[in-house]
Amino acid sequence: MWAPVFMFEEIVELTDKDILPSLLFSHPGQKISRASRINLTKSGDLFICPCFDEPANKCRIYPRRPFDCVLYPFLLVRKDELVYLAIDKKCPYAASNSGTFRTALYKGYLKRSLQSKQFIVLAKNNPEIAGDYGPDPDIIVLSVLPTLSRALNGTSAPYNKR
């Protein structure tokens, strides 16, 4: 189940401006001043993001959507001491375009951006942005992000180039 992560700064902005209620980010064991996954709401047999307007088929906060949603269908996946760039093939666009030249170019752009100094600072303040998706056949790992891995783990984690 994928629920978007809102970085702490995003939560503060959305709740301070009364765009979203803070209870959408309340979880047992939730740490104060940390990023958080939004609580999904039940809709029939599914759980959906409360920001999603089903009748209109669009996001209610699209101009202010969190980074995690901007990144999607790409995901930051943590496994052991490594962080990977992955793609969710449940997304119809990803399923039909994952092998295209355009997607390969975008993957390269993301790899550079997600390992930039600016993003490293943001990620260190919000390590929850890299999620543990466990074994999921719909999540395709594209490549390791060694600089981000080392920054989030405070180590010189080994990695295999992909």
Exposed, middle or buried: residue 64 (CB in 10 Å: 0-12, 13-18, 19+)? middle
Given a contact cutoff of 8 angstroms between Cβ atoms, the answer to whether 82 and 157 are in contact is: yes
H or E element in which residue 54 lies: none
Quick one: pLDDT at residue 157?
46
Encode the chain (162 residues) as per-residue pLDDT tens digits: 578 999 989 999 999 999 888 888 876 656 667 888 888 999 998 889 999 999 999 999 999 999 999 999 999 999 888 999 999 988 888 888 888 899 899 999 999 999 999 999 999 999 989 988 778 888 889 999 999 999 998 765 454 444
H or E element in which residue 115 lies: none
d(CA 47, CA 25): 15
d(CA 121, CA 79): 20
DSSP letters of 21-51?
A: -GGGG--TTPPTTS-EEPPPEEETTEEE-TT
Q: Which residues of 122-153 are buried (b: 16+ CB within 10 A; e: fewer)?
A: bbeebebbbbebeeeeebbebbbbbbbbbbbb
The residue ranges of every structural domain in the chain are: 1-64, 73-162
